[in-house]
Amino acid sequence: MRKVVRGFYAIAEAVRLSRPNVIAAYPITPQTEIVENLAEMYANGELGDAEYVTAESEFGAASMVLGASAAGARAFTATSSQGLLLMTEVLYNAAGMRLPIVLVVANRSVSAPLSIWNDIQDSISVRDAGIIQLYVESNQEAHDMLPLAFKVAENRDVLLPFMICVDGFKLTHAYEPVDLLDQETVDKFLPPYEPAVKLDVNSPVAMGCYAPPPYYMEFRVAMECAMERASRVMLEEFERWYELTGRNWGGHVVAENCEDAEVVVVAMGSVVALVREVVNRMREGGKKVGLLKIRTYRPFPSEDVRKALENAGKVIVIERALSIGAEPPVTADVKSAIFGLDAEVYPVVMGLGGRDIPRELVEKVIDDVMEGKVKPEKRFEGLNEFEEVIP
Amino acid sequence: MNYFGPGHGACPGCGFPIAIRGAIEALDGKVIAVNSTGCLEIVSSMYGRNTWGVPYIHSLFENAGAVAAGIETALKALKRDKEAHVVVFAGDGATFDIGIGTLSGMMDRDHNVIYICYDNEAYQNTGNQQSMATPPGARTTTTPVGKLQPGKIGKKKDMVEIAVAHNIPYAASASIAYPKDFQRKVKRASEFEGSKYIQVHAPCVTGWGIDGKLTVEVARLAVETGLYPLVEYEHGKLVKVRKLKQRKPVEEYLKIQRRFRHLFKHEMGKDILDQLQRIADENAEKYGLDA
Ligand SMILES: Cc1ncc(C[n+]2csc(CCOP(=O)(O)OP(=O)(O)O)c2C)c(N)n1
Ligand code: SF4
Ligand SMILES: [Mg+2]
């Protein structure tokens, strides 16, 4: 059913349709409305047998979904920014324990200075945890990826947490037309969760053991293997999703106009829509520009990125997070993916803390690179004149 | 069926194994055990050497309360809640200090969990650093004895009262010196729906500097001096207290432990000894310990 809804509702509705057993939640802007919507569904008896618990903190919420998942439940939580940072210790732990929890991150900048507005510093900061990360461009994509996230995470070849990253406000609070799924479709795609192991008095297992040096490394490398398999499993499920719903979200990346492009713009999340608009318009003007949308950030689709950028002489990476003191995060991954290719990479940091990314700015960024006006090094665009105050 | 051990690696004479085994036996093995990082976890859950005969999970140092809450919630959602008791075994550091937030959340939401804190009065796993359960005067590596400092300055937090203040149905203190009493309390706790808190005094041989053969003796003296009163609350009401026929002076408990020995020589030791006796007297008064 096609309806104009806000992002948080599209997300909450998809969570409901995925039939979770346990939802643990804690409010933080701009995620709050997701769990508020779920709370309302719970209050109205629309969540079936699911239990909805309000935690004392995000740390507690993450720990509760960890415990619930270990007991064999399908478990969900959502957060943003500080909340995600507070969850971090638990999330690393859940990944190491191979618990297939699903969480939505409504992307928001991190403090200080305090800012409730959007960038992707929060989720980028936990990229090394062993959690699958997928960045969506629209609320339809967010809606569709929820059942898929559970299915991939729960696959025995994977068993890793799955994080869907949705730009805070820009998507979560935006009104968009969304084809809302129905229960029958979701049930056809997503079977009930059958945990491989669970806490059960009838067959006791110990979970969360400690591993001395002769064992630890194997556990961690096994996570690498699972991530690698996740890459294949995700592609299979993307395909199945397409067959079932007729909506084709592509693979780990979507390359548009890249074959003959002199300049390819790499982007993740909601900014992709804007870049596409600019690229299409420039194409009409005869400029050889392409777009590479990265959907899956972990596992990082190095081969797909390399293939898409094979012919690009120049690559612009739009960065909405920093790794302060080093190359911005996506650039570092892109560079390592195309190592040895003859391409120049232009990291462009923009949109931090909700700073506007106007269309003209994206156009200018591309033009500057095309015309050789800038060097292939880290740049900040949309930055105000400012004087650093050193006390 | 062995619910805990053999094969755990606790120091000979360690107090907590008595409590762990006792609790699981009292519940006939119908237990899902949730454990925080600490001595118990390290001595029982090494990969390939699991010594637990019941389902067991360890996540982090400071989240056992929330993990247990999540398990209990899942069992409810999956209609498996009659299968087992969810029982937390957490150290005093995990309980009094770093994990008090998740414990408070668990109790506030009144999850159906038995939370057992084994209280060895410091961070023993990491080599005897003070916690908020460390009594005044105790020597730990972070409250060392020096010219200006006679061991820990401060008080032991009253966690039982904090638990009671959450309006949970059952809270009690216990001691490994009275295993029958402890097991009765665990069983009693299991009869209530909601959150239950039991704090069991469990000496640490190395951290306290005691002879491994004297563990039970030391624990008993803590009770007999009034320093560790055994109390029991149901729905916020004090329902039972272990009375003492002849309360012993605190020195008897203190002098056989290396962590307190300096108090008898240190310039400021006398004040601390007085403080400890005062605490025992206040306990006696508050709970009517003297028979
Ligand atoms: C977040 C965090 N901080 C510190 C530690 C290090 N650490 C591990 S166990 C422990 C102390 C445990 O004390 P307690 O709960 O009293 O248990 P005990 O070892 O005394 O039985 C500490 C400080 C940790 N694992 N995690
Ligand atoms: S260090 Fe103390 S608490 Fe830890 S196992 Fe040894 S005696 Fe027990
Ligand atoms: Mg301790």
A153 and A295 belong to one structural domain: no
Mean pLDDT of chain B: 97
A199 touches chain B (CB under 8 A): yes
In this structure, are A119 and A227 located in the same domain?
A: yes
Beta bridge partners of A292: A255, A266
A206 touches chain B (CB under 8 A): yes
Cα–Cα dist A390/A148, whole Å: 49
Same domain (yes/no): A270, A165: no
User: CB contacts < 8 Å between A and B, how many?
Assistant: 163
CA-based nearest residue to A337, from A345, A346, A348: A345
pLDDT tens-digit map of B63-95: 999 999 999 999 999 999 999 999 999 999 999
| Residues paired with residue A75 on neighbouring β-strands, in sequence order | A22
pLDDT, tens only, A283-333: 999 999 999 999 999 999 999 999 999 999 999 999 999 999 999 999 999
- Phi and psi of A386, rounded to 5°? -155, 155
CATH of the domain at A120: 3.40.50.970
| Domain assignment present for A391 | no
Is A135 inside a domain boundary?
Answer: yes
Residue A361 in any domain: the answer is yes
In a domain, A284, yes or no: yes
Q: Which residues of chain A have pLDDT under 50?
A: none
CA distance A77 to A149: 13
Q: Provide the token pair at B5.
A: 């051990």
| Ligand 1 pocket check for B89: Cβ under 6 Å | no
Indicate whether A216 and A269 sit together in one domain. no
Nearest-10 Cα torsion for A324, A101, A98, A304: -60
What single letter denotes the amino acid at residue B42? I
What pLDDT shows up at residue B110? 98
Give residue A27's identity as a one-letter amino acid code. P
**Both structure tokens of B35:** 């454990």
Residue A365 lies in a domain: yes
A226 in the same domain as A109: yes
CB nearest to B78's CB, from A21, A63, A93: A21
Task: Name the domain count of chain A.
Answer: 2
Together in a domain, A176 and A277: no
Q: Is residue A389 part of a domain?
A: no
Picking from A245, A263, A280, the residue at the C-terminal end of a domain is A245
Which of A245, A277, A306 terminates a domain? The answer is A245
Pick the residue of B4, B47, B81, B98 with the most A CBs within 10 A to test the interface with A by mutation. B47
In the reported structure, the alpha carbon of residue B274 is separated from the centroid of ligand 3 by a whole-number distance in angstroms of: 25
Same domain for A239 and A218: yes
Q: Residue B25 carries which side chain, given as an amino acid letter?
A: E
Chain A's closest residue to B55, CA to CA, is A204
Which residue of A24, A53, A208 is in closest CB contact with B58? Answer: A208
Boundary-marking domain end, from A189, A215, A245: A245
Please give the ipTM for the structure prediction: 0.96
Does residue B194 sit at the A interface (CB-CB below 8 Å)? no
Pocket test for ligand 2, best of B206, B213, B216 (most atoms within 8 A of CB): B206
CB A118 within 8 A of CB A108: yes
0.90 surpassed by pTM = yes
> What 8-state DSSP symbol labels residue A320?
S
Could you tell me where the beta strands, DSSP code E, fall in A7-45? 22-25
| pLDDT value at residue B2 | 86
Mean pLDDT to the nearest integer, B264-273 = 97
For residue B265 the two structure tokens come to 């020589």
Question: Looking at residue B5, what is its pLDDT?
Answer: 85
pLDDT of A322: 98
**Interface with B, mutate which of A201, A202, A215 (most B CBs under 10 A):** A201
Same domain, A58 and A196: yes
Looking at the structure, tell me whether residues A52 and A166 fall in a common domain. yes
Q: Which residues of A touch B75 (CB under 8 A)?
A: 71
For residue B210, give the ligand nearest its CA: 2
Any chain A CB within 8 A of the CB of B100? Answer: no
Say which CATH number the domain at A376 has.
Answer: 3.40.50.920
**Cβ A60–B79 below 8 Å, yes or no?**
no
Cα A37 versus chain centre, distance:
21
* A232 lies in the same domain as A307: no
d(CA B3, CA A298) in angstroms, rounded, equals 41
pLDDT band at B6 (very low <50, low <70, confident <90, very high): confident
Q: pLDDT value at position B229? A: 98
How many angstroms separate the CA atoms of A30 and B127, rounded? 43
Could you report the per-residue pLDDT of B227-255, keeping only the tens digit for each? Answer: 999 999 999 999 999 999 999 999 999 99
**Domain region containing A262:** 253-380
- Helices B64-77 and A58-70 pack at an angle, to 10 degrees, of 50
| Structural domain contains residue A385 | no
A122 and A85 in contact (C-beta within 8 Å)?
yes
| Interface touch A71/B75, C-beta < 8 Å | yes
Confirm or reject contact between B84 and chain A (CB < 8 A). yes
Which protein residue has the closest C-alpha to ligand 2 atom 2?
A: B204
pLDDT of residue B1: 61
Task: List the beta strands (DSSP E) in A273-342.
Answer: 289-294, 296-298, 314-319
**Do A309 and A265 reside in the same domain of the chain?**
yes
> A208 vs B59: CB contact, 8 Å cut-off?
yes
Same domain, A218 and A286: no
Searching chain A, which residue's CA lies closest to the CA of residue B110?
A53
Nearest ligand (C-alpha, residue B98): 1
Question: What is the second-level CATH architecture of the domain B16-287?
Answer: 3-Layer(aba) Sandwich (3.40)
What letters, b where the CB count within 10 A reaches 16 and e where it falls short, cover B14-23? bbbbbbbbbb
Let me know if residue A387 belongs to a domain: no
> What share of chain B in percent tops pLDDT 90?
98
In chain B, where the domains are located = 16-287
Contact criterion met (CB < 8 Å) for A50 and B77: yes
